[in-house]
Amino acid sequence: MKHQLKKQPRFSKTGMTLLLVASVLVLPLASLNAAAAGVKLPRLSNGKPDFSGIWQTTSAADYDLEPHSNRKDAPPGPGIVEGNVIPYLPKALEQKKKNFEARETDDPRTKGWTLGVPRGIYYPEPFQIFQRANDLNIVHQFGHSVRTVYTNGSEHPEDPWDWWLGDSRGHWEGDTLIVDVRHFNDKTWFDRAGNYHSDALHVIERWKYLDPNTIEYKATIEDPNVFSRPWEVSVILNRHREQNFQLIEDYRFTLDYDDAYPPKPDKQ
C-alpha cells in the first residue's frame, strides 16, 4: 500500500510579498539601531556629552513658530510648536495681532537687539558653544550675544535684574542637559510674526545628541501673563563641518553710525 505524501504548506504570493517587504524594512532599522549603539558621542573628561562646536538649524521657525502659509515677507512653514497653536490668553492674543501688523518696524531683530531665549537657537544664523565641566558659553553670530549656562550646581539669584537672555542654570539627566532659564526682561520676541512674552517668562531647555553631529533641542515655555498653559517647541541643530567655518561679526545696531565712526578729520 502506497503511503500518501502530505502536502507541505506553501506561502501564497501575497504572504511571500509581505514577508519580503517586512524583511526590507526591518533589516535596515536593525542595522541603524546597531550602528547608533556603537556611535561614540563627543564627551568631556568627566564623561558628560560635549556640545562644543558651531551649530545651526535648517528650520524656518523664525518666520513664525506656528504653521503658516506663504506671505510676502516669509515662506510657508509647518511650525515647530507641539499641537501647532500657541495658547495665548485672549488679551495677549490681541497684542500678538498688533505685533504682527507692525512686525516690519517693531520686531527687536530689525533693531539689531539681542534675540533672546529660545529665539537665538532657531534663528537662521550660526551660534557656537564652548563647553567646560562647570559651564557652557553660547556665542551667537547675531549681535555676538553671549549666554552662560552654569552646570556647577548653583542656583538662580534671588533678587536679580531682568536680563535679555535670562539666567541659565543646567543639570544633567543621563546624557540630556536640562537648562532652567529665568529672570528675563520683556524686550524680545519669539519670531518675526510677533509672538512675544512678558518679564514673567520661564524656559526649560532640553539638549540631547541624536548623533555626533546632530542635537535635538526642545524648550518648554511658560508665562502666566501671556499664555494659558506651558507649551513646547522642538528643532534639530546641525553641526557646521565646513573647513574654516567661523562666526562672522553681525552688529546690525551699529550700521546707523558707520558714517560717524571712526571719527573723520575735520574738513574745515
Which phi and psi (to 5°) does residue 250 adopt?
A: -140, 65
Contact 151, 134 (CB under 8 A): yes
**3-class SS at 28?**
helix
Contact 156, 162 (CB under 8 A): no
Cβ–Cβ contacts within 10 Å for residue 127, how many? 24
The C-alpha cell at 137 is 558659553
Q: Among candidates 179, 105, 191, which has minimal Cα distance to 135?
A: 179
* Torsion, Cα of 60, 66, 71, 72 (10° steps): -50
Per-residue pLDDT of the chain in tens (268 residues, 90 and over written 9): 444 444 444 444 444 444 444 444 444 444 344 345 568 999 999 999 999 999 999 999 999 999 999 999 999 999 999 999 999 999 999 999 999 999 999 999 999 999 999 999 999 999 999 999 999 999 999 989 999 999 999 999 987 888 999 999 999 999 999 999 999 999 999 999 999 999 999 999 999 999 999 999 999 999 999 999 999 999 999 999 999 999 998 877 777 777 777 777 775 5
Contact 165, 145 (CB under 8 A): yes
Contact 92, 233 (CB under 8 A): no
Contact 177, 168 (CB under 8 A): no
Contact 109, 95 (CB under 8 A): no
Q: Among candidates 145, 158, 153, 152, which has minimal Cα distance to 118?
A: 145
**How far, in Å, CA of 143 to CA of 205, rounded?**
22
Contact 195, 227 (CB under 8 A): no
Integer Rg of the chain from CA: 25
Q: Exposed/middle/buried for 255, CB within 10 Å: 0-12, 13-18, 19+?
A: exposed
| Res 37: pLDDT | 56
Tell me if the bond preceding 118 is cis, omega within 30° of 0. Answer: yes
Q: Among candidates 194, 199, 193, 190, which has minimal Cα distance to 232?
A: 190
pTM exceeds 0.85: no
Residue at 68: amino acid letter: H
**3-class SS at 77?**
strand
| Res 31: pLDDT | 39
* Torsion, Cα of 190, 193, 199, 203 (10° steps): -30
| Res 63: pLDDT | 97
Handedness of CA 184, 188, 190, 194 (dihedral sign): positive
Cβ–Cβ contacts within 10 Å for residue 219, how many? 23
Helices H, strands E: what count in the chain? 4, 9
